[in-house]
């Protein structure tokens, strides 16, 4: 049965139902609560292709990724290359930090690319594991970005330019399914194999039954929230950070107004009161500076919030001897994060 409102589909669901949205026109979608079999028989198998899976909030799910490239704006960037570049880092996190070997992972890779847009969806089926919910998937993807920023800084542009869509880890997200396309388009999401009910079910984000162990990103120190897109921890200031903050305040004649920690990479983003931009050589009306402190590299840099500065940053400032010793003492304590284990 189709419902005009998503909430009505949830309220009328029976045990064993999945949830779907179907695009009736560019401005209207209807919502369904039904079995996979019903949806397959009455929609996909009848060529009704404008469908989306609703990824229920607070319910276990697989890792899912959406990559998009505007090929008219970026004709020399292939979405497939972006996938290969981030795939290796995801594999490293799973293998070396989360102790999940490659043999336990099946990647469901789907494409819907045409002349104007490169698009891929990737679903990770991990033997014995699901993420606690899609907010935890979002936290994992934020941790991936922190890992990339730490180990492959040039690749951060794929996040900065939105090629990796970080806005899809929201409550009751509608996510296009295998064999489906957007209304009145022919860009069907496919995996280069004949579409079958079994393959379609394998490529869905949310399974019906959950017996797997749940991946809880909060156990790694990440803050997991549907409303907090930064996925860090505000106000966490270890003692080793305090002399570094004092040096930044002294050298740059400013005050630190907020510290936001990213436990995965032992990186701290520190908002500064100063609006005096070292890049444009003038005082901004609204935007302030901020410092990025990296304990792994024993350095910090100053950056600017203004988009006019286009991501400019100062040369790195290395920690002094006392600061290095304090940082080393802090990192020698047992701290487990998704990318690196210090013990």
Instruction: Write down the pLDDT at residue 264.
Output: 65
State whether 274 and 315 are in the same domain: yes
Instruction: Write down the pLDDT at residue 337.
Output: 39
Map tokens 């033997």 to a residue: 127
Q: Which of the listed residues 187, 219, 251 is the one where a domain comes to its end?
A: 219
Give dist(CA 232, CA 264) in Å, integer.
9
Tell whether 27 is covered by a domain: no
Map tokens 């009848």 to a residue: 46
State whether 177 and 84 are in the same domain: yes
Domain that includes residue 247, residue range? 233-342
Instruction: Write down the pLDDT at residue 338.
Output: 36
Tell whether 26 is covered by a domain: no
- pLDDT < 70 positions in the chain: 227-234, 264, 310, 333-343
Give dist(CA 70, CA 323) in Å, integer.
45
State whether 204 and 257 are in the same domain: no
Instruction: Write down the pLDDT at residue 306.
Output: 82
Tell whether 314 is covered by a domain: yes
Instruction: Write down the pLDDT at residue 232.
Output: 58
User: Which residues have CB under 8 Å from 293's CB, separation 6+?
Assistant: 241, 244, 267, 268, 270, 299, 300
Which region, left, alpha or beta, applies to residue 173 given φ > 0 means left and ψ of -120 to 50 means alpha? beta
Instruction: Write down the pLDDT at residue 101.
Output: 95
C-alpha gyration radius of the chain: 23
Tell whether 40 is covered by a domain: no
State whether 271 and 197 are in the same domain: no
Instruction: Write down the pLDDT at residue 333.
Output: 66
What φ, ψ does residue 34 adopt, rounded to 5°?
-165, 175
User: Which residues have CB under 8 Å from 307's CB, separation 6+?
Assistant: none
State whether 215 and 66 are in the same domain: yes
State whether 250 and 296 are in the same domain: yes
State whether 61 and 174 are in the same domain: yes
Q: Which of the listed residues 192, 219, 246 is the one where a domain comes to its end?
A: 219
Q: Which of the listed residues 219, 252, 269 is the one where a domain comes to its end?
A: 219
Beta strands at 105-111 and 63-70: parallel, antiparallel or unpaired: unpaired
pTM for the structure as a whole: 0.68
The number of domains in the chain is 2
Instruction: Write down the pLDDT at residue 188.
Output: 97
**Per-residue model confidence as pLDDT tens digits over 215-260:** 999 887 777 877 544 455 667 788 899 999 999 999 999 999 888 8
State whether 65 and 199 are in the same domain: yes
Tell whether 42 is covered by a domain: no
Alpha carbon 34 to chain centroid, angstroms:
29
State whether 74 and 184 are in the same domain: yes
| Among candidate residues 98, 137, 131, the one with its CA nearest the CA of residue 207 | 131
Tell whether 15 is covered by a domain: no
Tell whether 6 is covered by a domain: no
State whether 199 and 65 are in the same domain: yes
State whether 333 and 245 are in the same domain: yes
- What CATH number is associated with residue 191? 3.30.70
Q: SS3 sequence, the chain?
A: CEECCHHHHHHCCCCCCEEEEEEEECCEEEEEEECHHHHHHHCHHHCCCCEEEEECCCCCECEEEEEEEECCCCCCCCHHHHHHHHHHHHHHHHHHHCCCCHHHEEEEEEECCCCCEEEEEEEEEECCEEECCHHHHHHHHHHHHHHHHHHCHHHHHHHHCCCECCCCCCCCEEEECCCCCCCCCCCCCECCCCCCHHHHHHCCCCCCCCCCEEECHHHHCCCCCCCCCCCCEECCCCHHHHHHHHHHHHHCCCCEEEEEEECCCCEEEEEECCCEECCCCEECCCCCEEEEEECCCCEEEEEECCHHHCCCECCCEECCHHHHHHHHHHHHCCEECCCCEEC
User: Which residues have CB under 8 Å from 2's CB, separation 6+?
Assistant: 22, 30, 31, 32
Tell whether 5 is covered by a domain: no
93, 339 contact by CB (below 8 A) = yes
State whether 250 and 199 are in the same domain: no
Instruction: Write down the pLDDT at residue 233.
Output: 66
């Amino acid at each position: 049965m189709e419902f005009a409102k998503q909430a009505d589909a949830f309220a009328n669901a029976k045990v064993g139902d999945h949830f779907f949205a179907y695009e009736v026109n560019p401005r209207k979608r209807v919502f369904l609560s039904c079995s996979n079999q019903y949806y397959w028989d009455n929609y996909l198998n009848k060529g009704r292709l404008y469908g989306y899976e609703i990824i229920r909030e607070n319910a276990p799910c697989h890792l899912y990724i959406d990559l998009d490239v505007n090929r008219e704006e970026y004709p020399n960037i292939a979405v497939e290359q972006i996938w290969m570049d981030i795939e290796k880092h995801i594999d490293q996190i799973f293998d070396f930090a989360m102790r999940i070997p490659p043999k336990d992972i099946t990647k469901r890779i789907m494409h819907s690319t045409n002349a104007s847009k490169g698009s891929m969806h990737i679903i990770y089926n991990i033997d014995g594991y699901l993420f606690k919910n899609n907010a935890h998937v979002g936290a994992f993807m934020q941790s991936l970005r922190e890992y990339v920023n730490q180990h492959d800084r040039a690749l951060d542009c794929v996040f900065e330019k939105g090629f990796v869509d970080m806005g899809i880890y929201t409550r009751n997200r509608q996510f296009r399914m295998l064999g489906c396309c957007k209304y009145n388009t022919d860009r069907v999401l496919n995996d280069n194999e004949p579409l079958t009910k079994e393959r379609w079910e394998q490529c869905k984000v949310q399974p019906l039954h959950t017996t797997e162990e749940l991946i809880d990103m909060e156990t790694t120190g990440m803050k997991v929230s549907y409303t907090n897109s930064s996925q860090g921890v505000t106000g966490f200031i270890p003692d080793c950070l305090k002399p570094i903050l004092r040096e930044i305040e002294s050298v740059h004649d400013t005050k630190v107004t907020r510290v936001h920690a990213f436990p995965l990479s032992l990186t701290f983003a520190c908002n500064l009161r100063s609006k005096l931009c070292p890049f444009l050589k003038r005082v901004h009306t609204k935007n302030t500076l901020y410092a990025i402190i990296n304990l792994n590299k024993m350095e910090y840099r100053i950056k600017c919030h203004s988009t006019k500065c286009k991501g400019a940053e100062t040369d790195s400032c290395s920690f002094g001897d006392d600061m290095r010793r304090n940082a080393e003492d802090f990192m020698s304590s047992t701290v487990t994060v998704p990318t690196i284990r210090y013990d």
